Chain A
Amino acid sequence: MKQRTLVVVSAGLSRPSSTRLLADRLAAATVTAAAQQEIELRVQVIELRDLAHDIMNHLLTGFPPAALRQALDAVAAADGLIAVSPIFTASYSGLFKSFFDVLDKDALADKPVLIAATAGTARHSLALDHALRPLFAYLHAATVPTSVFAATDDWGSDSTEGLLQSRIARAARELATEIDRREPATVLDPFALTASFEDLL
């Protein structure tokens, strides 16, 4: 079996949070789908709430505190990413955006990403396609076609074979396939020189 890493970024603020719940369902489905493609996924979940102060400090000082550095490095080194935000005022939350604002702009290039969101009602569902998808397009991520939206209703009315579960399974299969198609992620060393000094001269 191939070994790959999956990082899950959850921007839920409450505890317990429905955003985290959706993130966990997506991660579990992706692990299952990957296993069917002979890939063993190692999963790391990053709760942005735990890093909220660090993210703001990074915005203000220009460098990440140690815990945030580790999270940013984990995302950059991941073979696949699941990014889940609550929808606030018609878009992703400020915390979610700020995390991707301090991430290196090349860190997600060609990285398979599954986007998902939670909100109170289904009226917010297009925020995924109007807000999250363009954000990841800008970052040159390989965002899978299926994105997953869960409103409050979905947690009550959905059966195990219901619409939410089928979307989760479909998105997870797409993510696992994209991870499978690629070589393991490599991280560029920011201190490495790309040209000789004579060339620069």
Chain B
Amino acid sequence: MQFGIFSVSDITTDPTTGHTPSEHERIKNIVTIAKHAEEVGLDVFALGEHHNEPFFSSSPTTTLGYLAAQTEKLLLSTATTLITTNDPVKIAEDYAMLQHLSEGRVDLMMGRGNTGPVYPWFGKDIRAGIPLAIENYALLHKLWREHVVDWQGKFRTPLQSFTSTPRPLDDVPPFVWHGSIRSPEIAEQAAYYGDGFFANHIFWPKEHTQRMIELYRQRFAHYGHGDPDQAIVGLGGQVFMRKNSQDAVKEFRPYFDNAPVYGHGPSLEDFTRETPLTVGSPQQVIERTLGFRDYVGDYQRQLFLLDHAGLPLKTVLEQLDILGEEVVPELRKEFAARKPAHVPDAPTHASLLAAKTAKAELTRTEVTA
């Protein structure tokens, strides 16, 4: 199982000090955070994409390319890549390039984006969000798998004899996850292609995540990619930890109370009960996280949100230390002990290349026989 962190790249005032980091400060901090994620033994760093304030991450491939050069093992991903407003041709080119530079340490997560005004800035319409996600991804999928592409759709200019360059590393396209909070069409899309499905699992009650994952698993099997429990599932999660759980609650409360999205709404206690947010001791985080498996089944990737709501860099790095030293080693052991052998791990470039080579061998043997 893969463990990592994901960042939405918000620039938020620290409510306890009144300090608002500059864009430059926050961008340098995210590099420190990602590198530290590798140092403490995490597997994945995923970065969001936004084209409006107060977010800095308009150009995730630039950041991820820089990180690729600064890290050795960390898998670089997105949370999410806007499949609606980006040109799928540019996504195909950018991420194939990143795949080469990072030696295959890249996958990506498709998302639609939920900010109405962003769509028209890129010549699109949020009301066509689902059709855009479906058509654009169909083209992206083709561009990475077919050398010469002829294509015509509704949302971009047609392509005649187009080749997306560079070709994916070893002709193995990056693995793709599809993220959605509430759209069954996106779970269906992930299932159709046999791609991964990632549930945000931060803002909504667990019953909701459970239904979406259930739908994705059933449809994954329907499209012949394996049994429902072999589908590739990722979950988000949000934690804040201190040795003593009361200290965690006391320290995190002002950040919670003033956070973007849910701040000035429900109490920390209500939100902890209603959603997967866990604020407490490392042991409480371990127990709650292991409990996710009870309602989504064995899953392949767990990403935590640690660096939002104005939390200072020092605190985020301390959270990473606790995660890497106390929480993740225990989670790795416990999840591995529970996972049946027929449930696959999350695909990586190495595993996809091995599968491709094995398939080619098999075809050759069949032809010879």
Contacts and interface: CB of A to CB of B under 8 A. Distances in A.
Interface string A15-49: 00000000000000000000000000000000000
Interface string B54-84: 0000000000000000000000000000000
A192 B262 contact: no
Nearest to A58: B265
A88 B350 CA distance: 66
B335 interface: no
Contacts of A56: 265
Contacts of A61: 203, 261-262, 265-266, 271
Interface residues of B, number: 26
Query: How many of chain A's residues touch chain B, expressed as a range?
Result: 10 to 19
A43 to B, nearest CB: 27
B188 interface: yes
B175 interface: no
Contacts, number: 49
A121 interface: no
Interface stretch (A62-70, A152-160, A166-174): A62-70
A171 B203 CA distance: 42
Given A65-B274, A200-B134, A200-B185, A191 B212 contact: yes
Q: Is the interface of B mostly helix, strand, loop or mixed?
A: helix
A45 B87 CA distance: 51
A197 B270 contact: no
A133 to B, nearest CB: 29
A63 B185 contact: no
Interface in A174-201: 190-193, 197, 200-201
B211 A191 contact: yes
Contacts of B131: 200
A60 interface: yes
B138 interface: yes
Given A61-B203, A63-B203, A63-B205, A193 B270 contact: no
A193 B188 contact: yes
Interface of B: 130-131, 134-135, 138, 182, 184-185, 188-189, 192, 203-205, 208, 211-212, 215, 261-262, 264-266, 270-271, 274
Interface of A: 56-57, 60-63, 65-66, 190-193, 197, 200-201
